[in-house]
Structure 1
Amino acid sequence: MNAPANATAPKAARRFRPSFYLWMTLAMAFFVFGGFGMSYIVPMSRGAFPPAPPIVHLHGLIFFSWMLLLITQSALVGAGKVRLHRSFGTWGIAHGTAIIVIGLMLQLIATRRAMDKGFAAGTDGLYLGLCAFVGFSTMFALAIRNTHRPDVHRRMMLFAMLPVLPPGVNRFWSHAFGLEPIPVVPLYATLWSMAAAILIHEWRGRGRISGYSLFGAGWIVIEGVLHKIVVHSPPFDRLAAVILGMVYYR
């Protein structure tokens, strides 16, 4: 007697298909590794990086490994390894939480040191750091909440990354083209282009744009519109002084 065909036929291996989400993650990683490569990795390799608090190196390690995790997770989905992708879920939540906590700590410490040297409290960096903390936390939570809806989950992970990309994007444009330390126009042109790409991909695939995506894109657009209005304004300077007044790092 012949065995049933479904019992004897080998399972066909799925061909790896790089998705839009993988390409977007690689684009984000390009700015992170490119920007920090020129300002951190290369100087470190040459022994030219100035002495820095341990939290600087801890932040670098956590953020670089986070980008590698995002790339790996997107690649696993493209290879059909969804179960393995999900097995990293708890680690991803813990790693993402560490990203935003360490990032905010570093920004507060750096801004407090600048304030102690006589600079204004409400800097561009602090504005971006606070927006990153709130924006990433909110959209990361929405991504976790929608793990049972893969398309929403993946889009919210991409949108969650946009508020935390400015340090890498700023360093890329400033070091590659000799622009000012925080080139506001190239920064938001980059972030808004990424947000637009996510919206266009969703619209082409589904014929509509979800409220989640509108929220994610709206966050980064509003952040850019308000940037120059808020930074160095008296209310923001007062708020920044209160926040930094609670920061102490020895």
Structure 2
Amino acid sequence: MATLAAAQARGRAFEHIFFSGAAVAMIMLIVAGFLPSYYLRGVMPAAVPMLPMTPLVHLHGLVFSLWLLLYLAQTLLAGSGRIDLHRRLGLAGLPLVVAMAAIALTTAVNGVGRHSAPPGIPPLNWLVVPLFDVPVFAGLIGAALWQRRRPIAHKRLMYAAMTGMLGPGLGRLPAQFGIEAGPAFFFGLPDLFMVALMLWDRKSSGRIQPVTLWATGLIVASQLIRMMLIGSAEWYYFAGAVFRLAGWAI
């Protein structure tokens, strides 16, 4: 009995190391990508021209930075056994998730009017990225909350939602070195974190957890759909309609 308890304790310790280490790695990558344009703007030289900051962009950066801190804190609390505080903080973070979704969509549509997009991509076409990012992120967070009484599913859904935040940061990293990154980079690299989760599942339980499989499928499917739509006339007209309905003139 003592041997079994010790083995379970070691398993929980390694699980904590995996999820905490992944959280730190994700946050470091996101912050590194946004150093020249946000966190160290005006201090760190930028390799590409940057649009002026607006109050909306500042608000967007603030709420998403708060989410990064919240996710790290929640991961560390859960791993250290402070489930009571983890749950209370999670409930307190619900308004932040709602604010993130609303602000992200508003900033994305407003970005079309500011001509915010990677070089060579029309802003209306680029709108396909955030307009899919937000519902995928919100859907995974919602599923994680629904499964909050099932730690195995809950932590994997939160992890999957975080991988969706990697694209914007990772997409900016190559530009700091004068390299243009394509969809394979800012979609493919975040997917490696899901591959790492699958490998961890296999190592820790001998099988890939079903929640890991369907979360990965959702993420990859959304990426493939975006890659098919981004250059299409159908998307251009749809995005134009969204832009007009939002109250801005093309």
Distance 2:58 2:43 in 1: 13
Letter in 2 for 1:111: V
Does the CA-based 8 Å contact 1:122-1:241 persist in structure 2?
A: yes
Alignment of 1:241 onto 2:243: no
Match of 2:92 in 1: 91
Distance 2:168 2:34 in 1: 8
**1:76/1:245 Cα in 2 relative to 1: closer, same or farther (>3 Å)?**
same
Secondary structure in 1 aligned to 2:202?
helix
Between the aligned residues of both structures, percent identity stands at 27
Match of 1:123 in 2: 125
* TM-score, with structure 1 as normaliser: 0.82
Deviations 1:52-109 (A, max 9, x none): 2201111111111110111111111222222111110212222122222211111111
1:149-228 equivalences in 2 (<5 Å): 149-175=150-176, 177-180=177-180, 183-228=182-227
Distance 2:45 2:184 in 1: 32
Shift of 1:41: 1.7
How many aligned positions are there?
230
Distance 1:32 1:163 in 2: 11
Secondary structure in 2 aligned to 1:198?
helix
Does the CA-based 8 Å contact 2:35-2:44 persist in structure 1?
A: no
Secondary structure in 1 aligned to 2:207?
coil
Does the CA-based 8 Å contact 2:128-2:226 persist in structure 1?
A: yes
Stretches (4+) displaced over 6 A: 46-49
**1:204/1:47 Cα in 2 relative to 1: closer, same or farther (>3 Å)?**
closer
Larger radius of gyration: 1
* TM-score, with structure 2 as normaliser: 0.82
Unaligned runs of at least 5 residues, structure 1: 1-15
Distance 2:68 2:29 in 1: 11
Distance 1:209 1:32 in 2: 27
Secondary structure in 2 aligned to 1:114?
coil
Match of 2:71 in 1: 70
Unaligned runs of at least 5 residues, structure 2: 1-12
Match of 1:143 in 2: 144
Match of 1:9 in 2: none
Secondary structure in 2 aligned to 1:43?
coil
Secondary structure in 1 aligned to 2:115?
helix
**1:235/1:142 Cα in 2 relative to 1: closer, same or farther (>3 Å)?**
same
C-alpha RMSD over aligned residues: 2.6
Match of 1:36 in 2: 34
Alignment of 1:81 onto 2:82: yes
Distance 1:95 1:183 in 2: 31
Shift of 1:21: 1.2
Distance 1:169 1:194 in 2: 13
